[in-house]
Amino acid sequence: MNLHASLSYVTLAHSPLLWTIAGVIVLLAFYVRAVIGFGSGLISVALLTLIFPIKEVVPVVLLLDLLGSVLLGAYDFRKMHWPELRWLIPGSIVGLAIGSFILADTNAQNLTRFLGVFILAYVVYALAMKPERLPRISLPWGTPLGIFGGVVGSLYGGGGPPIVAYLQMRHLDKRAFRATFQGIALTDNILRGFMYIALALLTWQLAVGFLMLIPPVLLGLWAGNRLHMRINQRTFLLATLALLTVVGLKYLI
């Protein structure tokens, strides 16, 4: 990592190379986000931290994800499934609080391995059953899986996998899946944003740096949405499981 690299406005404005590298990473991340509805945080953080300090990457990616959630959520607003959100959001809020205490008092490494095992076990199960034939679970499952997602979000910056599993087993079509996921992601991003501000992790220099990365976010979302509209439901489900596999291996290793 370049020790002088920074995601602040001052560095990006005076280093076209760093701005270009960061922009390409962000474009790729939000292309994936638009195609399957999640994953931008994982990709952005994993790649940006190879160059920039993680304490700067996480707050900036939070702002980028917040923008992505707002834009995709507004675009797909009419496709959101509110019954699922009514069970997921309260559970997620509880989970975020629990995760904060765990992070403060516990070594999260063992929990990381558990999460990796959980994700990979779900992927194997979904592939064995065939994604489109997964059993349909009832709405109340949204509360425990929302709590699990909230804990994961608090510890690792994104509670996607448990929420993805829930929405897949609610058998939402690809557009409804993407729309509903943005609702829970938006809640998570707002709550974590307040936490980062309180901890002074989100500074005005980083906030202005975030503004410089908005163009690649918009381009990635636009291009990814074009593919999202073209792929069929089975391809969408398999792409979702492929990204979950990458996430599971990352947490396990």
Instruction: Express each pLDDT in 117-159 by its tens digit.
Output: 888 888 898 888 887 788 888 999 999 988 888 877 766 656 5
Is residue 115 in some structural domain?
Answer: yes
Cα–Cα distances in angstroms (integers) from residue 26 to residues 162, 198, 213, in the given order: 24, 26, 7
Is residue 203 in some structural domain?
Answer: yes
Give the C-alpha separation, 66 to 75, whole Å.
14
Q: Residue 158: which of 150, 168, 166 has the closest Cα? A: 150
When pLDDT is averaged across residues 204-224 and rounded to a whole number, the result is: 90
Give the C-alpha separation, 168 to 243, whole Å.
14
Is residue 231 in some structural domain?
Answer: yes
Q: Indicate the pTM of the whole model.
A: 0.80
Q: How confident is the model at residue 56 (pLDDT cuts 50, 70, 90)?
A: confident
> How many domains is the chain built from?
1
Say if residue 40's pLDDT is above 80.
yes
Is residue 4 in some structural domain?
Answer: no
Neighbours of 82 (CB within 10 A): 8
Can you give the pLDDT at residue 1? 45
The 8-class DSSP code of residue 157 comes to: S
Say if residue 195's pLDDT is above 50.
yes
Q: Identify the three-state secondary structure at position 202.
A: coil
First to last CA, the chain: 21
Q: Supply the range of the domain harboring residue 66.
A: 9-252
Q: How confident is the model at residue 209 (pLDDT cuts 50, 70, 90)?
A: confident
Kindly write down the DSSP assignment for every residue of 94-110, as one continuous string. Answer: HHHHHHHHHHHHS-THH
Give the C-alpha separation, 31 to 205, whole Å.
26
Is residue 1 in some structural domain?
Answer: no
Beta-carbon-side half-sphere exposure of residue 152 (alpha carbons within 13 Å): 27
When pLDDT is averaged across residues 155-169 and rounded to a whole number, the result is: 77
Is residue 2 in some structural domain?
Answer: no
Is residue 3 in some structural domain?
Answer: no
Is residue 228 in some structural domain?
Answer: yes
